[in-house]
Chain A
Amino acid sequence: MGPILLVLGALLLLAGPALLNPYWLRVLASVFMYAVLAQGINIMAGYTGYPAFGNVVFFGLSGYVTGILMVKAGAPFAVAMLAGVALCPLLVLAIGPPLLRLKGHYFAIATLGLNEAVKEVVSNAASLTGGGMGLSLPLPPWGPVEGGAIFYYLFLGAMLISTWGTWEFGRRRIGVACGAIRDNEEKAGAVGLHTTRYKTTAWMISATMTGVVGSINAYRLTYIDPPSVFDLAISVKSFVIFLLGGAGTVLGPIAGAFFVEMLATYTWSKLLNWHLGAMGALIILVVMLAPNGFRDALRRMPSLATLRMRILRRGDFAGKAGQ
């Protein structure tokens, strides 16, 4: 049953450009993008237990490298993207081992500091990046309709590959090792796991995923500036999506991305002046109502049958929900 549904779903997604108008195609492309970002968070926070709060740094960095190479060196998109994406794991290789000595709050805020530091450097290196003026990338050679479909497929591909990657990650040695690190790092080290190496590798994978969509996103928007691509809100939204989908599940981030992006698109089209607040309120609601994800929230909700049983048993509402 499961695999058939998956194949059907995949076919439906592949047929997207034939069925949808450009507006919804763009919304779906954003959904896929956030699903990839959430998978990146999933690998770090869900599987490894390290809340990489500032992961958006790779999103912005890769976007900027792609843009700079295309503008200054005239590189084709594929080459520029490859370079932008490749830089992300390299950055992790350099700063990962020291940063990953930190735990919990400290790690979260250190990644946030990393994001802000890179953002400041990009803002100030105006001769290369355009600074606060932003950077305009060359327009894609495709027409608007064709381009919409191509970006749709690029993001869809990124989502499918990152989801498959997360699944592989979870069932391989590294996933198990990272799970051990999440549950008890000292013990994991004591039984002989090279914890730093596993943590760093996990973060490299997470950074690569984030970098891929950062690069595609920059080319899609054709204009980027530091506040928009190093925006912490992108990271936080990916975190919310990851939480909604349920930590450490493979398909959760996709479901979460659909829910959050659709809701966000709907609210933002209605509440122009309050879109910041609407997103904040959405975040607060998620944390309040479904702190362990959709499935848990649904599981905790008693079914109609149990409710009836309870009413029949007269007022026994205090009993355990569900099951």
Chain B
Amino acid sequence: MLTLQVILSGILLGGLYACMAIGFSIIWGVTNLINLAHGSMIIIGAYITWMLWTRFGIDPFLLVPVAGAALFAFGYVLYRVLLHRVAVKSLFMTLILTFGLDRVLVNINLQLFSADVRAITLPYASEALELGGIRLPYIRIAVFCVALLLTYLLHLFMNHTRIGDSIRATAQNVRAAKVLGIDTARVYAIAFGIGAAMAGAAGALIAMLYSFTPVTGDSLTMKAFVIVVLGGLGSMHGAIVAGILLGVAENIVSGLIAPGYRDAVSFFLLLLILLVRPRGLFGNRYLADAKI
């Protein structure tokens, strides 16, 4: 029974992980940036939600789109001003630049919100669905559903709109996209903005379930990376399956084996996937050669 409880909670957590990782995946797949500041962008989304909730008492679920929109604007401008200089060019540069950016964001968050642990406690947080000894809080189920809904909306956007088409075209072949008249510089910025928006929305969702500090983002970046590699770069359903796998694996390890190794799970999983199947569960090809 305990095992079942652990697995079900893991699945609910995994939905959130997937939502978090998809932004990372889009940014990487389209602009070829490994965004080491992704975790910090998620945390910015969490702080925006926390701030508006404490100041104005707005329900955090209504703040998910707000955090997403704010991060979209942030990501778009950031790409236009700074990141376009290194994206698609050199691997060292993208890693180093986004790491530097991450440090700056962490420092800004520390100054604005201090290092105190923040959390959102909702009045309905303790109510739970009870099924024969298994207890699943409604809020976790709601967060899971919202996360999957966001992922599905993004899927529709990428496949059924003009901008989505141009993003995919640019990701596949920049030169051909340019020849077809697509403003690829703008497409890159939009793609980065969308990735950032997903990070912001995920941050709003995380804020409802977990406490956070400015440095919480570090492990989230790594988790996003693991999920993207495990699911296969650019694959949406891959990200969902991988997110749930990671959520379940973390819960099993921390709940049933050794609590201290919770964060270690993702790193060992990462090393394992890279060694055994580098293109991931659902990746069509091994992108490491194509995208250096």
Contacts and interface: CB of A to CB of B under 8 A. Distances in A.
Interface of A: 45, 51, 53, 98-99, 101-110, 112-114, 116-117, 120-121, 123-124, 232-233, 236, 239-240, 243, 273-277, 279-284, 286-288, 291
B291 A117 contact: no
A177 B93 CA distance: 25
A280 B101 contact: yes
Nearest to B265: A120
Interface in B201-226: 222, 225-226
B288 interface: yes
B182 to A, nearest CB: 25
Nearest to A242: B92
Contacts of A277: 103-104, 106-108
A280 B103 contact: yes
Tell me the dominant secondary structure on chain B's binding face: helix
A279 B103 contact: yes
Contact of B106 (A102, A239, A276): A276
B261 interface: yes
Contacts of B225: 109
A103 B288 contact: yes
B275 A99 contact: yes
Contact of B278 (A53, A102, A288): A102
A146 B176 CA distance: 66
A275 B52 CA distance: 29
A51 B95 contact: yes
B267 A116 contact: yes
A283 B96 contact: yes
Interface stretch (B83-91, B146-154, B239-247): B83-91
Tell me the dominant secondary structure on chain A's binding face: helix
B93 A287 contact: yes
B130 interface: no
Contact of B111 (A120, A273, A284, A291): A273
Contact of A232 (B34, B99, B108, B292): B99
24 contacts: A99-B274, A103-B288, A103-B292, A104-B288, A105-B34, A106-B288, A107-B288, A113-B226, A120-B261, A121-B264, A236-B99, A240-B96, A276-B103, A277-B108, A280-B99, A280-B100, A280-B105, A280-B107, A282-B100, A283-B103, A284-B97, A284-B100, A287-B97, A288-B82
Contacts of B28: 105
Contacts of A104: 91, 288-289, 291-292
Contacts of B108: 277
Contacts of B97: 283-284, 287
Nearest to A49: B292
Interface string B118-161: 00000000000000000000000000000000000000000000
A61 B41 CA distance: 31
Nearest to A117: B267
Given A109-B34, A116-B267, A239 B103 contact: no
A243 B108 CA distance: 26
Contacts of A109: 34, 225, 229, 270, 274
Interface centre among B99, B106, B260, B263 (most CB of A within 10 A): B99
A102 B92 CA distance: 15
